[in-house]
Structure 1
C-alpha cells in the first residue's frame, strides 16, 4: 500500500509533471497545479544526457521524445578563429546505458507537451492558471486553499515550482539563490544540415558559444557572456546583440547567424545557483527540482536531476507504507550527495571560465559521468 493516497503537485515543469506521472501510474490520486495559463517552458531547447533519457523511458515517453528530438554521441570543440576549426572531438559517455544515445537535444516546449499528454493519459488532473494561497498541515494531512477560492486536503504536497518557489517560501525553508556571474543568450531556429551534434567554442569575446540540434529542422544556439543588465533592450536590440556577439564564431555559426531573424525567439537569463541543505521537506510538504537545487548548465544535468528527484520520491512513496522518518531518510540518502556533486561540478566549471583558469575538466566530467551512470 502506498504511503499516500492523494497528492498535490505544485508546478508543471519537468520535476512536477514527472512526479505526477509516476504517482498516478502507481494508483495515487494526483492534482497538478501550474500558475502559467498553458503548457509552456522557459527557454528554447534542452540538452538531455543519457541518464535523463533513461528517466523519460521510465515515464513511458521515451519513444515519443526520441521521435521529436535529435540524438548524438560526440561533442566537438572548435576554435574561435575565422575557420571555426574543429580542435578535437569528445565521445560522450552513455550515462543512461547502452540502450540510449549519449545525448539528445530537444525543444523544451515539445518535451513539456509530451509529458503533459502522458500525465493526462495516466489520470493526473491538471489545472493551469492556478496556484495556492495557503497551506495548513497537521499530522494527518495538508489543507490547501487555492487562489480561485476552492480548497483541498492532501496527504502530501510536492513543491516543484522552480527557482523562486512559492512553496519553499511558504514553509520557511531558507535558501539563498546566488548569481554565478554569467548571462546566457539563447535562440531557437532552423538547423543547418551540417549541425549534427553540439559543438562548443571556448574563448573569443564570450566564455562559450555553442549550439545543439533539437530536431530534424531545428536547433538552439547559445552564447555565454559576463552577466549584464540587459533588461532595457528591446526585442530587436536583443537579437542584434546576440548576432553581434556571434560574429567572433565561424564554421556552422555562419549559417546559424544568417538564420537569426526572429527577435521573439531570443531570450537572455543569468546563471544562478542554490542547494537546499537537507531536509528538503517540512512535515508533509517536500521540495524537488529547481525549488531545492539549481546550477549553471555547464554539464547539462539540470533536467536529469529534476527527473531523478521525481523518480526517487515516487518510488519511495509507492513502496513504503508510511510517510515518516524512514522514507525521508531514504529520500535524502539517495538524492542529496548526488545532487550536491552535480551542483558543485557545474559551479566549478563556471568558476574556471570566470577566472580564465585551465581546470581539469576531463577528470571532473568523467567523475560526474561515472556517478550519474548509476541509476538514482
Structure 2
C-alpha cells in the first residue's frame, strides 16, 4: 500500500488553508493552488463559536485568532426595539469562549501566516482543468497547461467547486430566498456582546470584531427570483433596513454606511452533497461538500473541523479508501445536521418576513440551542 506523502489542495480559502496546515503538521508535503492571483478576501466579519476555536487550536491558530479578534460571552436575541427574549450560541468549551468575532480577512491572514510557517507551498492564479484518478494517485492538468502527480487531491474550492463538478458531475447550489448584507463599523461604546434583532421584514445582528470595530449583518428577503442589486442601491437599501431598528447603537451607525463598494451583499445558497464526498484518491471538504447558510454561524467552523479530522485519519496511512471512509463516518451526520438546521431556520425566517404563519412547533431559539449544543461534542 502506497503511503500518502504529497497532497494537492485546490482552493486557498479557510478550508483549504486549514487542511494545508493540518497535513503539514503530520509531515505531508502540501501544495495549494488558488484561482485568485493574490489573496483579496471577500467578506467582512465572521462569527467563530467555541467549536471553531477548538479546531483552530489543533492548527496552532486559536490564540492568535482570539488576540486579533474579539471574544464575547453570548448572543442576545432581541425584539426590534431591543427587548431580550433569549440567548444563543455554543457554551464555552474548556478555555475557549462561547464566541469570537473576527474580520474574515484577518482570519485568512492568521491561517496564511501559520501555513507558511509550517511549509505549505502556494501557487496563485491557478486551478485544475482535468483530474485523472489512478490506482496509486492523481494526475492533474492545471489551468496554465502544466501538469502534476499527487497521492491525494483535496477539493476545498468552495460552493461553486470545480473539483466537485469534475469528479461528481455538476451540482448547483440552491438559493433559499434570503440574502445577507454586511458592513464594518467603528464599535459603539455600548456593544458588550453579540446581538441579533428579529424585525418584521429582516433580521439584524451586530457583532464585535476588535476592541474598536464591529460589523452588522442583515438577513432580508429580496425576492424569489434573486434580483440583481446594483451598486447604487447598496447604501440606501442597507440604511433602510438598519432604520427599522430604533436602538441607539444601531441608529448611530447608519450614517457610517458611506461606501457602496464596502457593502458585502450575498444571496444565500446551500448545498449538501450526498455521501460519499470522495472518489478514488480525491475528496472534497468545506463548502464544496456541505455549504450552509449562516443562520448558525458555522460554515467556516465545519471546514476547519473537516481539515482537522482528515489529517487525524491520514496519520494511519492505510490507504485513501479507508481514510476517506472513516472521515465520512465522523463528518457526514454532523455537517448534515448543521446544513439542514440552518435551512429550517432560514425557511422560518422567510415565512416571517413574508407575513406568513410558522409551522406548528417551530421554535427558532430552541432549534439554535439544540444544534449549538450538539456542536460542543467531540469531532
Q: Give the alignment's TM-score, normalised by structure 1.
A: 0.93
Which of these residues, 268, 271, 274, is aligned with residue 274 of structure 1?
271
User: Hey, what does 1:192 align to over in structure 2?
Assistant: 188
Structure 1: which 5+ residue stretches go unaligned? none
| 1:133 to 1:355, Cα distance in 2 relative to 1, 3 A | same
Moved more, 278-287 or 38-47: 38-47
Once the two structures are superposed, the pairs formed by residues 1-376 of structure 1 within 5 Å of their partners are 3-80=3-80, 84-90=81-87, 92-94=89-91, 97-206=93-202, 208-228=203-223, 229-234=226-231, 236-251=232-247, 252-318=249-315, 320-356=316-352, 357=358, 359-376=362-379
Decide whether the 8 Å contact of 2:90 with 2:375 is kept in 1. no
Q: Distance in 1 between matches of 2:28 and 2:90?
A: 36
Which SS does the other structure have where 1:189 is aligned? strand
Give per-residue Cα distances to partners, 1:214-268, cap 9 Å, x unaligned: 111211111111134453512x431121112211112221122122122221021
Q: Distance in 1 between matches of 2:79 and 2:229?
A: 32
Q: Distance in 2 between matches of 1:340 and 1:256?
A: 37
Decide whether the 8 Å contact of 1:213 with 1:219 is kept in 2. yes
Structure 2: which 5+ residue stretches go unaligned? 353-357
Q: Distance in 1 between matches of 2:339 and 2:16?
A: 20
Aligned alpha-carbon RMSD (Å): 1.8
Matched pairs, number: 369
